């Protein structure tokens, strides 16, 4: 088979897939399992923390969208870091994102084990973690469209659940549903020590957990190489996903803390279970347990997808074994998927060795990796915009608002959260593991002479080349783009 006829990544993802995928990746254990810990630190003031984190995510997503719509390629921000900053940053970002999602998937399969204890309390967690890993790996190996369909329904289940809970909660607050017709009101937000019950310090300490909850929103960029009509689909998905996630997080927690005193949340099980149980819905605990399992599987599903695409891109660039850049006849990077799943076996082992500590360790390390990724997106966007000629800047169809001040302000916010992680023993471990991982990567990069290799002529794409190809108005244009982004 000739090289140009080799199987390539398929553009099998539709707009509805990528919109629900990004929601599915970001709405996971950070909301269902991590929000109780964040509320314990900040009290009702956690709503402000989620709003601040959401504002930062808005600018990060707009920065990513500006580059992804101009240049929709597999590898996304790893490729942008390579092209617009330096090759070493592309290498570090690609491997960091792979590491980040491997760690996150370990946390997700750990959560599956924790949730399954509800029905099978005597069965070890590691068995359920392994079962979840095997099923999600199989899904990712079949075809990208099947992955997109499964993720669509996974995400839809938890989104409908959250909307239902918000709607019923508002009925309890305003009309007294489940409370004998007596409205509950929202006084619980300030009657138990005030809105900032633990002071500004508590709000700051909650920020790392808040940012962990938003991890995954950047996955829209990773889909750029496999989405149909990238210009239209990416812009719409980026504009809508941010507002939906902010609504789900802030809306759900506003309802929960209005119904229950914040200092009681987490003591009697999941706040979602408590809310449905108060309304009188039978089998509420079992229903919500099923939903949070699908939430964890959804995030794990997205994580295996994104890690495989990062390994695929690193293989293309010669920064990982070239066999990772091979795809199956169905357009799936099979070896890259299996390699990522193999690394996740470490998470299964941790669930066997240290089941009580593994979740906290993994979430803090994942947050550190996410902040690196988001920072690189912002820095790459600054360099990207500076490198454009005046005419090209004017032709950009999707722009970062308030550039460059928004980029610098968001970078400062992320740096501040990294500093806060040093003050909490539960997150301090990430400040050891993260830099150690980057040190190993840098030593390998220069030790193996990767910095001396010549950059491929295919690595940089211009807006004019896409316009010449007629991108992305018709099917032929998508075929041209696919050839440009496949090696």
pLDDT of 474 reads 36
Q: Positive or negative CA dihedral for 382, 387, 390, 392?
A: negative
Rg of the chain on CA atoms, in Å: 22
Q: Are 367 and 170 in contact (CB under 8 A)?
A: no
Rounded-to-integer distance, Cα 76 and Cα 60, Å: 13
> What distance in Å separates the CA atoms of residue 11 and residue 478, rounded to the nearest whole number?
8
Can you give the pLDDT at residue 377?
94
Locate 426 and state its tokens: 């539960």
Look at residues 483, 445, 484, 453 and name the one whose alpha carbon lies nearest to residue 91. Answer: 445
Q: In this prediction, what percent of the chain has a pLDDT beyond 90?
A: 14
Q: How many residues does the chain have?
A: 487
CA 40 to chain centre: 23
Residue 394 CB-density burial (10 A; 0-12 exposed, 13-18 middle, 19+ buried): exposed
| pLDDT per residue as tens, the chain (487 positions) | 444 445 555 444 555 656 666 565 566 666 766 677 788 888 999 999 988 998 898 899 899 988 888 887 765 788 899 889 998 998 898 898 888 888 888 888 888 888 888 888 888 888 998 998 898 888 888 766 666 777 778 778 878 888 888 888 899 899 887 777 788 889 989 988 888 988 888 899 889 888 888 887 787 766 655 566 667 777 777 777 667 777 888 888 898 888 888 888 766 556 676 677 776 777 777 888 888 888 788 778 777 887 888 788 788 878 888 888 888 777 788 888 899 888 888 888 877 776 666 777 788 888 899 999 999 999 999 999 998 888 888 888 888 899 899 999 999 999 999 999 888 887 888 899 999 999 999 998 888 777 676 444 334 433 333 333 333 333 433 333 333 333 2
- The pLDDT of residue 267 is 65
State CA 125 to chain mean position distance. 24
- Residue 63: the pLDDT is 92
The confidence score (pLDDT) of residue 48 equals: 92
């Amino acid at each position: 088979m000739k090289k140009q006829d080799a199987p390539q990544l398929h553009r099998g993802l539709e707009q509805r897939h990528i919109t629900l995928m990004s929601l599915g990746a970001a709405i996971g254990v950070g909301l269902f399992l991590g929000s109780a810990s964040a509320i314990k630190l900040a009290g009702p003031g956690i709503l402000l923390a989620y709003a601040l984190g959401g504002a930062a995510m808005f600018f990060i997503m707009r920065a990513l969208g500006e580059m992804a719509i101009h240049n929709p390629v597999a590898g996304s921000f790893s490729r942008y870091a390579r092209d617009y900053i330096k090759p070493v940053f592309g290498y570090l970002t690609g491997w960091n994102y792979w590491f980040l999602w491997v760690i996150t998937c370990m946390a997700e399969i750990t959560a599956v084990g924790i949730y399954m204890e509800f029905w099978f309390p005597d069965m070890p967690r590691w068995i359920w973690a392994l079962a979840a890993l095997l099923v999600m790996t199989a899904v990712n190996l079949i075809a990208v469209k099947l992955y997109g369909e499964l993720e669509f329904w996974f995400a839809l289940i938890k989104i409908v659940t959250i909307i239902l809970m918000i709607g019923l909660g508002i009925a309890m607050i305003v009309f007294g549903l489940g409370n004998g017709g007596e409205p509950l009101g929202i006084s619980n937000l300030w009657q138990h020590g005030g809105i900032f019950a633990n002071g500004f310090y508590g709000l700051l300490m909650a920020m790392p957990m808040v940012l962990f909850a938003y991890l995954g929103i950047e996955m829209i960029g990773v889909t750029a190489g496999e989405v149909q009509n990238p210009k239209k689909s990416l812009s719409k998905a980026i504009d809508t996903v941010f507002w939906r996630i902010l609504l789900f997080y802030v809306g759900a927690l506003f309802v929960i803390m209005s119904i229950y005193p914040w200092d009681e949340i987490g003591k009697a099980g999941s706040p979602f279970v408590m809310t449905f149980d108060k309304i009188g819905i039978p089998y509420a605990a079992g229903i919500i347990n099923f939903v949070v399992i699908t939430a964890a599987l959804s995030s794990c599903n997205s994580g295996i997808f994104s890690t495989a695409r990062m390994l695929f891109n690193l293989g293309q660039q010669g920064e990982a074994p070239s066999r990772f850049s091979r795809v199956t006849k169905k357009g799936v990077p099979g070896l890259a998927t299996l390699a990522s799943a193999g690394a996740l076996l470490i998470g299964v082992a941790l669930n066997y060795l240290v089941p009580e500590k593994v979740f906290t360790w993994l979430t803090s390390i994942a947050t550190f990796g996410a902040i690196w990724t988001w920072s690189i997106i912002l820095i790459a966007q600054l360099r990207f915009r500076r490198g454009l000629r005046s005419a090209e800047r004017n032709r950009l169809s999707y722009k970062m608002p308030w550039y460059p001040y928004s980029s610098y302000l968001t970078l400062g916010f992320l740096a501040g959260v990294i500093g806060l992680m040093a003050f909490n023993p539960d997150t301090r471990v990430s400040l050891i593991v993260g830099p150690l991982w980057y040190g190993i990567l840098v030593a390998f990069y220069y030790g193996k002479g990767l910095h001396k290799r010549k950059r491929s002529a295919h690595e940089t794409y211009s807006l004019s080349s896409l316009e010449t190809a007629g991108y992305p108005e018709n099917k032929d244009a998508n075929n041209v783009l696919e050839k440009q982004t496949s090696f």
